[in-house]
Amino acid sequence: MKTLILATDNQDKVHEIREILKDLPIAVLSKAQAGMSYIEVVEDAQTLEGNAEIKARSIKEKAPEAIVLADDTGLYVDALDGAPGVHTARYAGENCSYQDNRRKLLNALKDLPLEERSARFVTCIVIIDEMGILHLAEGVCEGMISEEERGERGFGFDPVFIPKDYDKTFAEMDGQIKNSISHRARALDALLELLERMCK
Amino acid sequence: MKTLILATDNQDKVHEIREILKDLPIAVLSKAQAGMSYIEVVEDAQTLEGNAEIKARSIKEKAPEAIVLADDTGLYVDALDGAPGVHTARYAGENCSYQDNRRKLLNALKDLPLEERSARFVTCIVIIDEMGILHLAEGVCEGMISEEERGERGFGFDPVFIPKDYDKTFAEMDGQIKNSISHRARALDALLELLERMCK
C-alpha cells in the first residue's frame, strides 16, 4: 500500500482529510506520523495556492519518493473586503485560538444584517506525486457568517459559517454532510480520480 | 478530438511542442489559432513556474472548457550566479532578438575556460485540464555554454548550449535527438501519461 503524507499536524485537518479519503487504498500519515514534525515552514505567500505549495514542497524535499498533500484554506468575507482570506488561521494574531478568531470576526460584523454577511470558504489542495508532478485544485463553499456561534462539531470558523442552502452552521452539521459539501471536500473530490490512479 | 491550446504565439515553441506531442490524438492550437492573440500578460513572477501559471490562467479564463498548456523556460549559467534564469527571453532587453541574447551571454563569459561554463536549461510546463485542475512539471537539461555560436537549428540559446554527454550544440543536432533529451521534452514527458488520459 502506498503512503500519502499530509503536510500538516493540525489534527482537525488530518481527521477531516482522512475521513474524506477513507475509501482509497492508501495509508494517510500526518506530518508527525511521518517523523517530519521538525520541518518548519514560513507560510508567507500571498495566495492560498502559494502557501499550500510551500508546505507540500517542504515535505517532498525530505521524502522525494512519497506522495505529499498540503491544504491551505481561507475564509473570504465580502463585508470585510475578503478578509481574513489568506490570513484566516492567524486572523486574531500569531498562535491565537479558533475562538479568538471567531470572536474577532463576529465583532467585526457586529450589527450587520444577515444579507450583508455573505462569505466563502476556499481550500487549495496541492498534491505532489511520486514523479514530482504537482497537481493543484481549488474547492469553494459559499455561505454566510452567523450572528453567533452555534454547534460543537468541526473546527476553526465552522461554528459561525452557514453554507448556502442550509440553515445550520458547519459545526451543527453531521460530519458526513459537511464532508460532502465543504470547500475541502470539493477540492479533494476534484483530485480523487488522480489519487485513485496514484494508489495503483 | 479534444483541443489543447498553447499559451504562446512563439512559433518555435509551438513547433517544438507539436513535434513532441505528435502521437497524441489531440489538436494542438497556438494562441493565435485559438483566436486569443489579443490576450496580453505581464510575466512578472519571480519563478518560471509562476510565469507559466500566469500564461496558462490567462487563456483558461477565456476558454474555461479547454485544456491549456503553458511553458516557461530559463537558462541558468553557474558562472553568472544563475543568470539569465527567469529573465532568459529578455536577457538583452525588452524585444531583443535571440541573437542579441546570445551575444550578450557569450560576451559575459568571454575568456572563461570550458570547465567554468556549466549551465542548465529548465522548463516549467503548466497544464490546466478541463476540470480546472492545474498540473505542473519541470524538466532540466544540464550542459555548458559553447565558446561561439554553432549550428542553425532550434532557436533561442540553442546555438550556444551543448548538452551534457554531447559535443554538439542543440542547434547542430537533429531535431529528433534534441527533442528526446531537452528540458522541454523532459517536462512534457513527465506529463505525457496525464495528457494521454485527457485525450480520452
pLDDT at res. A1: 87
Cβ atoms A109, A77 nearer than 8 A: yes
Answer yes or no: do B131 and A190 touch at CB < 8 A: yes
Answer yes or no: do B132 and A132 touch at CB < 8 A: no
Q: What is the pLDDT of residues A57-76, one digit of tens each?
A: 999 999 999 999 999 999 99
Q: Point out the catalytic residue in the list B12, B23, B44, B72.
A: B72
Helices and strands (H, E) in chain B, number of each type: 5, 7
pLDDT at res. B55: 97
The ipTM value here is 0.88
pLDDT at res. B1: 87
Decide if A136 touches B, using CB distance below 8 A.
yes
Burial degree of A64 (CB within 10 A; 0-12, 13-18, 19+): exposed
Which range among A49-58, B111-120, B161-170, B191-200 shows the weakest confidence by mean pLDDT? Answer: B191-200
3-state secondary structure chain A: CEEEEECCCCHHHHHHHHHHCCCCCEEEECCCCCCCCCCCCCCCCCCHHHHHHHHHHHHHHHCCCCEEEEEEEEEEEHHHCCCEECCHHHCCCCCCCHHHHHHHHHHHCCCCCHHHCEEEEEEEEEEECCCCCEEEEEEEEEEEECCCCCCCCCCCCHHHEEECCCCCCHHHCCHHHHHHHCHHHHHHHHHHHHHHHHHC
User: Which of B199, B32, B76 shows the shortest CA–CA distance to B127?
Assistant: B199
Burial degree of A2 (CB within 10 A; 0-12, 13-18, 19+): middle
Answer yes or no: do B136 and A134 touch at CB < 8 A: yes
DSSP B145: E
